[in-house]
Amino acid sequence: MVLKYIGRSFKRGCIQLVRRPMYFLLIVIMPLLCCWFLMDLIKPGSVQRVPVGIVDLDNSIMSRQVSRTLGGFQQVNITRRYNNFAEARDAVQRGEVYGFFLIPDNLEEHALGGRQPVVSYYVNYAYYAPASMQYKGFKTMSLLANGAIVQTALRTVGVPNEKIAAALQPYQTHVHMPGNPFINYNYYLNSTFVPCFLSLFILLVTAFSLGMELKSGLSSQWLKTSGNSMFLALIGKLVPQTVLFTAVGWFIQWMMYRCYDFPLNCNPWNMLIAMFLLVVANQSFAVLMYCFVPNFRYGTMLCTLLGMVSFSFAGFSLPQEAMYPWVEALGFVVPIKYYFLIMVDQALNGIDLYYSRFYYAALIGFTILPMLLSWRLKKECLNPVYVP
Amino acid sequence: MTEKIRHSRFFLWFIQVLRVCGRELLLVFRDSGVVIFFLLLNAAYPVLYALIYNPEVVRDEPVVVVDDNRTAMSRDLIRRMDATQEVAIKGYAANMEEARDAMFRKDCYGIIYVPRDFAQCIERGEQGHVSLYCDMSVMMRYKALFTALTNVTQAMGGDRLAATVEPVLNMSGSIIESRQVPIGNSAMGIASAVLLFILPLVLQQSMILGIAMLHGGSIERRRRNCGRDPMAIEAGVGATILGKMMCHQIIYVIPVIYVLHYVPLMFGFPQNGNILQVMCLAVPFIIAVSLMGQTLQAFVNERESVFLLFVFSSVVFVFLTGASWPRYLMSPLWWVVGDCVPATWMSNAYVLMQSDGATLAQVSHHYLMMWIQVPVMFVLAYMVERFVNRRRYRSWIAASESNPSALTRIDLAKNGVG
């Protein structure tokens, strides 16, 4: 009997899926397109060759040497030379360059005379990523310029070479970046943003397909096909979507970890299972929202809002410990947060599964939650009210 | 004379535009869904975003130390690290195993390792080594830890350099001083950088969503009424588009001022732009967006499908503006796609004005590009209205004449009945 109901409900779900091309568009085409968009956009991996300007007021041998060395740096690309500060500032305001390096007049004279000239670098922090890169380049440059002079001076008074290196840089730092040693922006951003995109689509599609039943007034018929069981009705409706979304999710993972070589330091199954759980958890999350607000417009809006905001409060860009506590807490409300934590633990850091146990459990927990509240949705389905 | 004007074709056309505008206003304010998009979304969303990013910078990132050296010098290094804005020393671990476990449990996000011969090497006049292991899941964490360690070791190195150099060269060793001057966003915070890009985008997306939802409502009315919309004003294609555009302009006066002027004011984001010039910049932007919305509305068949079709595009548009990945590194394809979106020009011009204090003349290129978008978008909207929408309505009317229930039956079939 149950099998018969499941079959009928399942058939209905499949028919709905097939008859609206929009579903195909949003389950398969758009997630893949967005995935390709992000990966293709950030293909270079790290911000390099930031267009900057240089203002050389000194025009001495030393200042030209400085600007030549700076031109050889990978971080910055000197696209323009400006005659004075005002010109360079104007170029920044026009958006032609992201910053500039200012060499004061009498650089050489003051440097050789021991009067400590000051070189300044003006970095436009309105553009965050290029600014950080410029800072790195400019800072290294100014240290090198200083080092070169001191080195020459020390050599002239007869200090041995090995001592000079130690004197110039007594503390050598080694920064280890496990999982992402190239500081690849593509690895970092897309291993979280792409699944977040997918979960946004899952939330939207689930919310829409539930809402359409309420809107069309066919929800009581939907329940009847599955023998008046909300659970079976949901299974029939959502399982076809789960299958498609999981397939798309796995395809995306295959692209990330095999085509683009994202770090995958764990058993691939750990991530595949996490993706499947992410799909189911997001579907359940959308159902749960409908249980809270059994209304097409507000249910969908809630899903949309949380799906969109989760890009920010899941802590992909601003780390969670830096956020306000209430924002940090909100992050733990959405499933993508747990997928993110699993991804960090498993794929990026490759640590023991033991440390991620709670995150897997949380994703499973999302799946169970709507079952407790489904009576509210059922009540609404029996007497659907559509508020435009 | 007045008679002549009253009967002139232009006057009649203009009256049509005004009637469409008036009807559109009525439809907007009768539809709470659209009001939510046009007004509530603009009021709440920027505030929500600003609150999320308001901490601006990473402070006191927890770090664990493994100190195998245990000398005054290594303790000095750790103390100085703890004193930085970016790092807070959470504690000492006996060995790397213990520290790694703390990192895996997310009790800390970085490990500083000081090897056994750290101080001895330096005292011998060799280089001393110190290692930092950094959690790479979030770039801002890495940046904070890296900056803190670099600054501390350089400061300590400077002291030692002076001590070595002073006796031989009679100077401190720092010959050329250098300083960074952050311009634009002088707090160097993430909110001040990213939010200014997002604000114009909120305006664009809310308007597109609202326009598409209005259109979805109209389509639904047509489906119920044999292909005719009882609420629509019969008017020419151009008059319909311009009338609607006029309506959107009127409604958006308040959201534009609120979002572009008052939100930065509330959260203390850079506000170096002249408000009048910012508003001038917004004029072509809002016109272009309204026309873009009227082009894109062709994809909408129900009120609610706007959520599915347009919401996710916000994220794509954010990336296209160059807020997180700079535009000069984009491939020509994405560069051109970005150029077609009004928000790309608006966001960049707005950021340059508000952060860097650019004048309208300095962002004239962006301004001009938005004005160029206006006629292009108008032609697109015109073609869509004339050759897609109107043709579709005519075919619906024709279909309903032969069979009045044809349209509702299609609807039912889509929902899995029959």
- At B410 the pLDDT is 75
What are B179's strand-pairing partners?
A120
* Residue A218 per-residue DSSP state: -
Residue B184 domain flag: no
Q: Residue B153 is nearest to which of A15, A92, A173, comparing CB atoms?
A: A173
The alpha-helical segments, DSSP class H, found in A157-184 are: 161-168
Q: How many A×B Cβ pairs under 8 Å?
A: 351
CB–CB of B217 and A321 under 8 A? no
Binding-face residues of A in 274-293 toward B, CB within 8 A:
none
Name which residue leads in pLDDT, B171 or B272: B272
Residue A55 and residue A26 share a domain: no
Q: Report the range out of A212-226, B312-326, B404-418 with the highest average pLDDT.
A: B312-326
> Residue range B363-392: average pLDDT?
95
Is residue B28 located within the same domain as residue B128? no
Give the separation between CA A46 and CA A359, rounded to whole angstroms. Answer: 30
The whole-number pLDDT of residue B418 equals: 56
Residues B258 and B381 in one domain: yes
Out of A348-352, A383-387, B256-260, B292-296, least confident range: A383-387
Answer yes or no: do A114 and A259 share one domain.
Answer: no
Question: Does residue A387 lie within any of the structural domains?
Answer: no
**To the nearest whole number, what is the mean pLDDT of chain B?**
91
Asked whether residue A65 falls in the same domain as residue A36, the answer is no
Last residue in a domain, options A168, A192, A214: A168
pLDDT in tens, A172-230: 899 999 888 888 999 999 999 999 999 999 999 999 999 888 888 888 888 888 888 88
Residue B243 CA to residue B38 CA, distance in Å, equals 17
pLDDT on residue B360: 95
Please report how the helices B237-257 and B275-296 are oriented relative to each other, as an axis angle in degrees rounded to 10. Answer: 140
Nearest to B324 among A98, A129, A172 (CB): A129
Q: Please name which of A54, A196, A232 lies closest in space to residue A134, comparing C-alpha atoms.
A: A54
SS (H, E, C) B296-307: HHHHCCCCCHHH
Is the domain of A110 the same as that of A163?
yes
Pairing mode of beta strands B110-114, B128-134 = antiparallel
Query: Does B416 have pLDDT greater than 70?
Result: no
Of A131-145, A263-277, A335-349, B57-71, least confident by mean pLDDT is A131-145
Of B58, B133, B169, the CB nearest to A157: B169
B78 pLDDT band, cuts 50/70/90, is very high
Sheet containing B128-134: give its strands across: A171-176, B128-134, B110-114, B61-67, B87-92
Q: The complex's ipTM? A: 0.92
A126 DSSP 8-state letter: T
B132: nearest Cα among B57, B59, B64: B64
For residue B52, which residues of chain A lie inside 8 Å, CB to CB? 309, 312-313, 318, 323, 327
Packing angle of the helix pair B364-383, B342-356 (nearest 10 deg): 160
Do A12 and A60 share a structural domain? no
Alpha-carbon span A198 to B312, nearest angstrom: 10
Distance CA B19, CA B14 (A): 9
- Same structural domain for residues B118 and B45? no
CA proximity to A333, closest of A365, A295, A301 = A365
Kindly state whether residues B291 and B382 are assigned to the same domain: yes
Measured N-to-C along each axis, helices B275-296 and B364-383 cross at an angle, to the nearest 10 degrees, of: 20
Residues of B in contact with A27 (CB under 8 A): none
Same domain, A156 and A207: no
With a cut of 70, say whether residue B335 has pLDDT above it.
yes
pLDDT at residue B271, rounded to an integer: 92
Domain span including residue A282: 2-43+182-382
Judge whether A115 is closer than 8 Å to chain B, CB to CB: no
Would you say residue B177 lies in a domain? Answer: no
pLDDT digits over B186-221, tens only? 888 888 999 999 999 999 999 999 999 999 999 999
Query: B167 vs B272, which has greater pLDDT?
Result: B272
Q: Provide the residue range defining the domain that includes B137.
A: 61-169
The closest CB to that of A119, out of B126, B176, B192, belongs to B176
B65 close to B89: Cβ distance less than 8 angstroms: yes
Contacts of A349 in chain B (CB under 8 A): 104, 135, 137
**Which residues does chain A have within 8 Å of residue B351's beta carbon, measured at their own beta carbons?**
126-127
> Are residues B102 and B156 located together in one domain of the fold?
yes
A345, A351 in Cβ contact below 8 A?
Answer: yes
C-alpha to C-alpha distance for A13 and B92, rounded to whole angstroms = 57
Residues of B within 8 A of A307 (CB-CB) are 311
CB contact under 8 A, B52 and A178: no
Do B325 and B219 sit in the same domain of this protein? yes
Flag if B307 and A301 touch (Cβ within 8 Å): yes
Q: Residues of A with CB below 8 A from B156's CB?
A: 170-171
Q: For position B87, which CATH number holds? A: 3.40.1710.10
Q: CB of A69 within 8 Å of any CB in chain B? A: no
Residue A85 in any domain: the answer is: yes
Q: Do residues A305 and A201 both lie within one domain? A: yes
| Same-domain check for residues A211 and A72 | no
Q: What is the pLDDT of residue B9?
A: 87
Q: Per-residue confidence at A86, pLDDT binned at 50, 70, 90?
A: very high
In this complex, which of A126, A143, A188 lies closest to B355 when CB atoms are compared?
A126
Residues in A touching B178 (Cβ below 8 Å):
118-121, 138-139, 142-143, 146
A388, part of any domain: no
**Chain A neighbors of B177, CB-CB under 8 A:** 116-119
Same domain, B151 and B294: no
Partner residue opposite A355 with nearest CB, options B33, B36, B105: B105
Residue of A142 and A52 predicted with greater confidence: A52
- What does the pLDDT read at residue B72? 95
In this structure, the answer to whether residues A105 and A229 fall within a common structural domain is no
Residue A159 vs residue B259, higher pLDDT: B259
Domain count, chain A: 2
Torsion of CA A302, B266, A314, B322, to 10 degrees: 100
Summary mean pLDDT of chain A: 91
**Are residues B164 and A167, on separate chains, in Cβ contact within 8 Å?**
yes
Q: Which residues contact B309 (CB under 8 A, 6 or more apart)?
A: A22, A26, B212, B299, B300
Same domain (yes/no): B256, B281: yes
Which pLDDT band holds residue A153 (cuts at 50, 70, 90)? confident
Check A177 against B52: CB less than 8 A apart.
Answer: no
Residue B232 lies inside a defined structural domain of this protein:
yes
Please, which residues 192-231 of chain A have a Cβ atom closer than 8 Å to chain B? 193, 197, 200-201, 204-205, 207-208, 211-213, 215-216, 218, 221
Report the pLDDT value the prediction gives residue A147, as an integer from 0 to 100: 83
- In the chain, the amino acid numbered A268 is P
Are B145 and B197 found together in one domain?
no
The token pair that represents A209 in the structure block: 């397909």
Q: Is A71 within a domain? A: yes
B202 located within any domain: yes
Q: Is the pLDDT of residue B30 over 60?
A: yes
> How many separate domains does chain B show?
2
The answer to whether the CB of A32 falls within 8 A of the CB of A255 is: no
Of A114, A137, A168, the position where a domain reaches its end is A168
Residue type, B415: N
The pLDDT value recorded for residue B417 is 65
Residue A55 forms part of a structural domain = yes
For chain B, say whether A368 makes contact (Cβ under 8 Å): no
Query: Is B176–A170 a contact, with Cβ atoms under 8 angstroms apart?
Result: no
Q: Is A143 on the interface with B (CB under 8 A)?
A: yes
| B68 and B205 inside one domain | no
Q: Chain B residue closest to A118 (CA)? A: B177
Instruction: Quote the CA–CA distance of B226 and B248 in Å, as a whole number.
Output: 28
Question: Which of these, A269, A291, A252, lies nearest to A38 by C-alpha position?
Answer: A252
Within a domain: A177: no
Report yes or no: A159 at the B interface, CB cutoff 8 Å: yes
For residue A103, the chain B residue with the least C-alpha distance is B178
Cα B299 to Cα B25: distance, rounded to the nearest angstrom: 22
Task: Give a yes or no: residue B176 inside a domain.
Answer: no
Tell me, yes or no, whether A66 and A207 share the same domain. Answer: no
- Interface residue A178 vs chain B (CB under 8 A): yes
As given in the structure block, the two tokens for residue B314 are 């916000």
- Specify whether B227 is located in the same domain as B159: no
Domain stop point among A168, A194, A228: A168
Q: B301 to chain A: which residues are within 8 Å by CB?
A: 22
What are B116-126's pLDDT values in tens digits? 999 999 988 88
Asked if A344 lies within 8 A of B137 by C-beta distance, the reply is yes
Q: Does any domain span residue B180? A: no
Q: Does residue A8 fall inside a structural domain?
A: yes
Residues A286 and A209 in one domain: yes
Residue A175: inside a domain, yes or no?
no
Q: In this structure, are B147 and B204 located in the same domain? A: no
A138 and B180: CB-CB below 8 Å?
yes
Residue A362 and residue A279 share a domain: yes
**A163 vs B105, B125, B138: nearest CB:** B125
β-pairing verdict for B128-134 and B87-92: unpaired
Q: Cα separation of A241 and A226, whole Å?
A: 17
A183 CB near a chain B CB, below 8 Å?
yes
Q: Where are the alpha helices (DSSP H) in A30-157?
A: 30-41, 61-71, 85-94, 107-112, 128-156
